[in-house]
Structure 1
Amino acid sequence: MPSSVVNNYIYFPETETLRIIYQSGAVYDYFKVSADVVSKFKAAKSKGKFLNSIIKPSFKFNKVK
């Protein structure tokens, strides 16, 4: 999953929370993200583009670290 923006991600289906670990080390939780959106994110050729165009504008988030 090489990406210049996203280092890793974890999905918590029980709470529909998508945790993004950025290359910078920052960690953000995005809330009420459906499994379908996560599947599309996983399949996206560019994780950074998908994150910036779909996830960031559509879901509330909280900085964890």
Structure 2
Amino acid sequence: MPSSVIKYFSYDEATKTLKIIFVTNMVYLYQNVPVKVYKMLKASGSKGRYFNSNIKDKFKFQKTEEE
């Protein structure tokens, strides 16, 4: 999953939480993310572009220190 913006991401289907670790090591937990959005992010050729268009500013999030 090479991306110049996103280092790693995972999804918890039970809580609909998308965890994204950026290359800056900042960790964000996006809430109430539909599984379809996660799957589209996973399939996207440009993770950063998909994130900016479909996740950023669209879901509530919490910034965390934990990786």
Fold equivalence (TM over 0.5): yes
1:57 aligns to what SS in structure 2? coil
- Relative to the length of structure 2, the TM-score reads 0.93
| Separation (CA, whole Å) in 2 of partners of 1:49 and 1:64 | 23
| Separation (CA, whole Å) in 2 of partners of 1:26 and 1:58 | 18
Structure 1: gaps of 5 or more residues: none
1:19 aligns to what SS in structure 2? strand
| Separation (CA, whole Å) in 1 of partners of 2:30 and 2:50 | 14
More helix by percentage:
1
Which residue is 2:31 aligned to?
31
- The size of the alignment, in residue pairs, is 65
Partner deviation per Cα, 1:6-37 (whole Å, 9 max, x = no partner): 00001011100000000000000000001111
- Relative to the length of structure 1, the TM-score reads 0.96
The alignment yields a C-alpha RMSD, in angstroms, of 0.6
Q: By how many angstroms is 1:53 displaced?
A: 1.1
Identity of aligned residues (%): 45
